[in-house]
Structure 1
Amino acid sequence: MTDAKNHYYAIKTTSKQERAVADTIFRTVERKDVDIRVSSVIVPEELKGYVILESPESRGRIQELLESVPSARALVPGETSLEAIQHYLEPKPVVSGIEEGTIVELIAGPFKGEKAVVKRIDLGKEEITVELYESIVPIPITVRGDHVRVIERKNEE
Protein backbone atom coordinates (compact mmCIF):
# COMPACT_ATOMS: atom_id res chain seq x y z
CA MET A 1 0.00 0.00 0.00
CA THR A 2 1.17 3.50 -0.71
CA ASP A 3 0.73 6.49 1.56
CA ALA A 4 -1.73 8.11 -0.87
CA LYS A 5 -5.40 7.09 -0.78
CA ASN A 6 -5.97 4.20 -3.14
CA HIS A 7 -8.83 4.08 -5.62
CA TYR A 8 -10.37 0.88 -7.00
CA TYR A 9 -11.23 0.79 -10.70
CA ALA A 10 -13.02 -1.93 -12.68
CA ILE A 11 -11.63 -2.56 -16.15
CA LYS A 12 -13.74 -4.28 -18.81
CA THR A 13 -11.66 -6.78 -20.78
CA THR A 14 -12.07 -9.00 -23.79
CA SER A 15 -13.58 -12.33 -22.75
CA LYS A 16 -11.01 -14.81 -21.37
CA GLN A 17 -8.24 -12.17 -21.50
CA GLU A 18 -8.46 -11.06 -17.87
CA ARG A 19 -5.13 -12.62 -16.86
CA ALA A 20 -3.37 -11.25 -19.96
CA VAL A 21 -4.63 -7.73 -19.20
CA ALA A 22 -3.45 -7.98 -15.58
CA ASP A 23 -0.03 -9.30 -16.68
CA THR A 24 0.36 -6.51 -19.26
CA ILE A 25 -0.54 -3.84 -16.70
CA PHE A 26 1.95 -5.35 -14.25
CA ARG A 27 4.77 -5.51 -16.85
CA THR A 28 4.08 -1.99 -18.11
CA VAL A 29 4.24 -0.51 -14.62
CA GLU A 30 7.21 -2.68 -13.55
CA ARG A 31 9.28 -1.67 -16.62
CA LYS A 32 8.33 1.94 -15.93
CA ASP A 33 7.04 2.39 -19.51
CA VAL A 34 4.60 4.85 -17.93
CA ASP A 35 4.94 6.92 -14.77
CA ILE A 36 1.84 5.48 -13.13
CA ARG A 37 1.69 3.78 -9.73
CA VAL A 38 -0.40 0.64 -9.36
CA SER A 39 -0.73 -1.02 -5.95
CA SER A 40 -2.42 -4.23 -7.12
CA VAL A 41 -4.32 -5.88 -9.94
CA ILE A 42 -7.00 -8.43 -9.06
CA VAL A 43 -8.42 -11.02 -11.47
CA PRO A 44 -11.47 -12.43 -9.65
CA GLU A 45 -12.36 -15.91 -10.92
CA GLU A 46 -16.11 -15.25 -10.50
CA LEU A 47 -16.05 -11.89 -12.31
CA LYS A 48 -15.68 -12.84 -15.97
CA GLY A 49 -14.57 -10.08 -18.33
CA TYR A 50 -13.31 -7.71 -15.62
CA VAL A 51 -10.10 -6.87 -13.78
CA ILE A 52 -9.94 -4.72 -10.62
CA LEU A 53 -7.05 -2.25 -10.36
CA GLU A 54 -5.94 -0.56 -7.13
CA SER A 55 -4.02 2.67 -7.55
CA PRO A 56 -3.52 6.08 -5.95
CA GLU A 57 -3.69 7.59 -9.47
CA SER A 58 -6.62 9.56 -10.89
CA ARG A 59 -9.12 8.11 -13.34
CA GLY A 60 -7.53 10.00 -16.24
CA ARG A 61 -4.10 8.51 -15.52
CA ILE A 62 -5.55 4.98 -15.40
CA GLN A 63 -7.31 5.64 -18.73
CA GLU A 64 -3.93 6.70 -20.14
CA LEU A 65 -2.37 3.43 -18.93
CA LEU A 66 -5.15 1.32 -20.48
CA GLU A 67 -4.62 2.84 -23.94
CA SER A 68 -1.42 0.79 -24.21
CA VAL A 69 -2.96 -2.46 -22.90
CA PRO A 70 -4.32 -4.84 -25.56
CA SER A 71 -7.66 -6.48 -24.64
CA ALA A 72 -8.47 -3.78 -22.05
CA ARG A 73 -11.72 -2.54 -23.56
CA ALA A 74 -12.92 0.17 -21.18
CA LEU A 75 -12.61 1.69 -17.75
CA VAL A 76 -15.97 1.21 -16.03
CA PRO A 77 -17.44 4.61 -15.01
CA GLY A 78 -17.00 5.54 -11.36
CA GLU A 79 -14.98 3.81 -8.68
CA THR A 80 -15.65 0.85 -6.50
CA SER A 81 -14.80 0.50 -2.83
CA LEU A 82 -12.62 -1.94 -0.95
CA GLU A 83 -15.75 -3.25 0.80
CA ALA A 84 -17.33 -4.06 -2.58
CA ILE A 85 -14.37 -6.20 -3.69
CA GLN A 86 -13.36 -7.63 -0.30
CA HIS A 87 -15.16 -10.95 -0.90
CA TYR A 88 -12.98 -11.54 -4.01
CA LEU A 89 -9.87 -11.35 -1.79
CA GLU A 90 -10.92 -14.12 0.60
CA PRO A 91 -9.87 -17.57 -0.59
CA LYS A 92 -12.71 -20.02 -1.04
CA PRO A 93 -12.29 -23.72 -0.35
CA VAL A 94 -11.67 -25.74 -3.52
CA VAL A 95 -14.62 -27.97 -2.64
CA SER A 96 -17.12 -25.12 -2.20
CA GLY A 97 -20.16 -25.66 -4.39
CA ILE A 98 -19.68 -29.43 -4.46
CA GLU A 99 -22.12 -31.52 -2.46
CA GLU A 100 -22.89 -35.19 -2.02
CA GLY A 101 -24.57 -36.68 -5.08
CA THR A 102 -22.87 -34.28 -7.51
CA ILE A 103 -21.54 -35.92 -10.68
CA VAL A 104 -17.93 -34.96 -11.40
CA GLU A 105 -15.22 -35.80 -13.89
CA LEU A 106 -11.77 -36.62 -12.57
CA ILE A 107 -9.29 -34.29 -14.30
CA ALA A 108 -6.05 -35.57 -12.75
CA GLY A 109 -4.55 -38.75 -11.39
CA PRO A 110 -4.84 -42.38 -12.50
CA PHE A 111 -8.61 -42.15 -13.08
CA LYS A 112 -8.39 -39.01 -15.24
CA GLY A 113 -11.38 -38.76 -17.60
CA GLU A 114 -13.62 -41.00 -15.48
CA LYS A 115 -16.99 -39.82 -14.22
CA ALA A 116 -17.83 -40.29 -10.55
CA VAL A 117 -20.47 -39.52 -7.93
CA VAL A 118 -19.45 -37.52 -4.84
CA LYS A 119 -20.07 -39.55 -1.68
CA ARG A 120 -18.31 -37.51 1.02
CA ILE A 121 -16.66 -34.08 1.34
CA ASP A 122 -13.87 -33.17 3.76
CA LEU A 123 -13.81 -29.36 3.91
CA GLY A 124 -10.82 -29.29 6.28
CA LYS A 125 -8.55 -31.24 3.94
CA GLU A 126 -10.30 -29.97 0.78
CA GLU A 127 -10.75 -33.56 -0.38
CA ILE A 128 -13.74 -35.44 -1.70
CA THR A 129 -14.52 -39.13 -1.75
CA VAL A 130 -16.11 -40.34 -4.97
CA GLU A 131 -17.28 -43.62 -6.46
CA LEU A 132 -16.61 -44.23 -10.13
CA TYR A 133 -19.81 -43.95 -12.14
CA GLU A 134 -19.39 -46.94 -14.43
CA SER A 135 -17.61 -49.24 -11.99
CA ILE A 136 -19.14 -52.68 -11.41
CA VAL A 137 -17.93 -52.74 -7.80
CA PRO A 138 -18.25 -49.35 -6.09
CA ILE A 139 -14.80 -48.42 -4.77
CA PRO A 140 -14.48 -45.18 -2.81
CA ILE A 141 -11.61 -43.01 -4.05
CA THR A 142 -10.45 -39.91 -2.18
CA VAL A 143 -9.10 -37.11 -4.38
CA ARG A 144 -8.16 -33.46 -3.94
CA GLY A 145 -10.99 -31.03 -4.61
CA ASP A 146 -9.10 -29.38 -7.47
CA HIS A 147 -8.77 -32.74 -9.26
CA VAL A 148 -12.44 -32.80 -10.25
CA ARG A 149 -14.68 -30.80 -12.55
CA VAL A 150 -18.40 -30.61 -11.79
CA ILE A 151 -20.48 -32.06 -14.62
CA GLU A 152 -23.95 -32.12 -13.06
CA ARG A 153 -25.11 -30.79 -9.71
CA LYS A 154 -27.46 -32.90 -7.59
CA ASN A 155 -30.38 -30.45 -7.86
CA GLU A 156 -30.14 -30.06 -11.68
CA GLU A 157 -32.70 -32.50 -13.04
Structure 2
Amino acid sequence: MVEAAVPEEVDQAVQRVPHARVVIKGESSFAEVEHFLSPKPTVTGITEGSIIELITGPFKGEKARVKHVDEVHDEITMELFESVVPIPITVRGDNVRILKREETE
Protein backbone atom coordinates (compact mmCIF):
# COMPACT_ATOMS: atom_id res chain seq x y z
CA MET A 1 0.00 0.00 0.00
CA VAL A 2 1.44 3.32 -1.03
CA GLU A 3 -0.12 6.72 -0.54
CA ALA A 4 1.19 9.80 -2.35
CA ALA A 5 0.11 13.28 -3.41
CA VAL A 6 1.06 12.78 -7.07
CA PRO A 7 1.07 9.54 -9.13
CA GLU A 8 4.69 10.00 -10.25
CA GLU A 9 5.91 9.47 -6.68
CA VAL A 10 4.13 6.12 -6.57
CA ASP A 11 5.72 5.07 -9.88
CA GLN A 12 9.18 5.95 -8.55
CA ALA A 13 8.57 4.05 -5.31
CA VAL A 14 7.36 0.93 -7.15
CA GLN A 15 10.54 0.80 -9.24
CA ARG A 16 12.56 0.23 -6.05
CA VAL A 17 10.34 -2.57 -4.74
CA PRO A 18 11.71 -5.93 -5.97
CA HIS A 19 8.50 -7.94 -6.47
CA ALA A 20 6.01 -5.17 -7.24
CA ARG A 21 4.37 -5.86 -10.59
CA VAL A 22 1.44 -3.52 -11.09
CA VAL A 23 0.15 -0.21 -9.85
CA ILE A 24 -3.59 -0.12 -9.28
CA LYS A 25 -4.59 3.48 -9.65
CA GLY A 26 -7.43 5.00 -7.71
CA GLU A 27 -8.50 5.59 -4.17
CA SER A 28 -9.37 3.04 -1.51
CA SER A 29 -11.66 3.53 1.42
CA PHE A 30 -10.47 2.72 4.92
CA ALA A 31 -12.99 -0.13 5.13
CA GLU A 32 -11.28 -1.87 2.18
CA VAL A 33 -7.85 -1.95 3.85
CA GLU A 34 -8.82 -2.13 7.52
CA HIS A 35 -8.40 -5.92 7.76
CA PHE A 36 -4.76 -5.60 6.61
CA LEU A 37 -3.98 -3.24 9.49
CA SER A 38 -5.22 -5.34 12.41
CA PRO A 39 -2.68 -7.94 13.62
CA LYS A 40 -3.71 -11.58 13.70
CA PRO A 41 -2.95 -13.34 17.00
CA THR A 42 -0.26 -16.01 16.64
CA VAL A 43 -2.19 -18.46 18.82
CA THR A 44 -5.06 -18.64 16.33
CA GLY A 45 -5.56 -22.26 15.31
CA ILE A 46 -3.92 -23.73 18.41
CA THR A 47 -6.38 -25.59 20.62
CA GLU A 48 -6.11 -27.31 23.99
CA GLY A 49 -4.75 -30.82 23.58
CA SER A 50 -2.70 -30.02 20.46
CA ILE A 51 0.87 -31.25 20.27
CA ILE A 52 3.44 -28.52 19.69
CA GLU A 53 7.20 -28.10 19.48
CA LEU A 54 9.12 -25.22 21.02
CA ILE A 55 11.27 -23.45 18.43
CA THR A 56 13.12 -20.95 20.66
CA GLY A 57 14.32 -20.58 24.22
CA PRO A 58 15.86 -23.01 26.71
CA PHE A 59 13.38 -25.79 25.81
CA LYS A 60 14.04 -25.54 22.04
CA GLY A 61 13.15 -28.80 20.29
CA GLU A 62 11.01 -30.12 23.15
CA LYS A 63 7.53 -31.43 22.40
CA ALA A 64 4.58 -30.58 24.62
CA ARG A 65 0.79 -30.80 24.94
CA VAL A 66 -1.21 -27.56 25.11
CA LYS A 67 -3.16 -27.15 28.35
CA HIS A 68 -4.48 -23.59 27.93
CA VAL A 69 -4.54 -20.92 25.20
CA ASP A 70 -4.77 -17.24 26.20
CA GLU A 71 -5.67 -15.32 23.04
CA VAL A 72 -5.80 -11.97 24.85
CA HIS A 73 -2.16 -12.12 25.96
CA ASP A 74 -1.06 -14.31 23.00
CA GLU A 75 0.31 -17.00 25.34
CA ILE A 76 0.17 -20.78 25.52
CA THR A 77 0.39 -22.88 28.69
CA MET A 78 1.73 -26.39 28.10
CA GLU A 79 3.28 -29.43 29.75
CA LEU A 80 6.45 -30.97 28.34
CA PHE A 81 6.34 -34.66 27.37
CA GLU A 82 9.84 -35.58 28.51
CA SER A 83 9.85 -33.87 31.91
CA VAL A 84 9.87 -36.02 35.04
CA VAL A 85 7.47 -33.72 36.89
CA PRO A 86 4.63 -32.20 34.82
CA ILE A 87 5.15 -28.47 35.33
CA PRO A 88 2.98 -26.05 33.35
CA ILE A 89 5.10 -23.69 31.25
CA THR A 90 3.74 -20.51 29.64
CA VAL A 91 5.33 -19.18 26.43
CA ARG A 92 4.43 -16.68 23.73
CA GLY A 93 2.48 -17.99 20.77
CA ASP A 94 5.19 -17.25 18.21
CA ASN A 95 7.68 -19.50 20.04
CA VAL A 96 5.93 -22.74 19.05
CA ARG A 97 5.19 -24.79 15.96
CA ILE A 98 2.10 -27.01 15.70
CA LEU A 99 2.89 -30.68 15.11
CA LYS A 100 -0.62 -32.14 15.51
CA ARG A 101 -3.90 -30.33 15.98
CA GLU A 102 -6.49 -31.69 18.38
CA GLU A 103 -9.76 -32.13 16.52
CA THR A 104 -12.78 -30.61 18.26
CA GLU A 105 -16.23 -32.06 17.73
| Aligned equivalents of 1:72, 1:139: Cα separation in 2 | 49
Aligned to 1:121: 69
| Aligned equivalents of 2:54, 2:27: Cα separation in 1 | 41
Gaps of 5+ in 2: none
Post-superposition shift, 1:110? 1.4
The alignment status of 1:106 with 2:54, answered yes or no, reads yes
Secondary structure of 2:36's counterpart equals helix
**Same amino acid, percent of matched pairs:** 51
Deviations, residues 104-140 of structure 1 (Å, cap 9, x unaligned): 2111221111121211112333221112234565432
| Aligned equivalents of 1:125, 1:142: Cα separation in 2 | 11
TM superposition score normalised by structure 1: 0.52
| Aligned equivalents of 2:56, 2:25: Cα separation in 1 | 42
How many residues align structurally?
104
Structure 1 residue aligned with 2:3, among 54, 62, 76? 54
The amino acid across from 1:84 in the alignment is E
Does the 8 Å CA contact 2:3/2:10 hold for their aligned counterparts?
no
Gaps of 5+ in 1: 1-51
Post-superposition shift, 1:61? 4.5
Aligned residues: CA RMSD: 2.8
| Aligned equivalents of 2:15, 2:37: Cα separation in 1 | 27
TM superposition score normalised by structure 2: 0.71
Higher RCO by CA contacts (8 Å cutoff, separation 6 or greater):
2
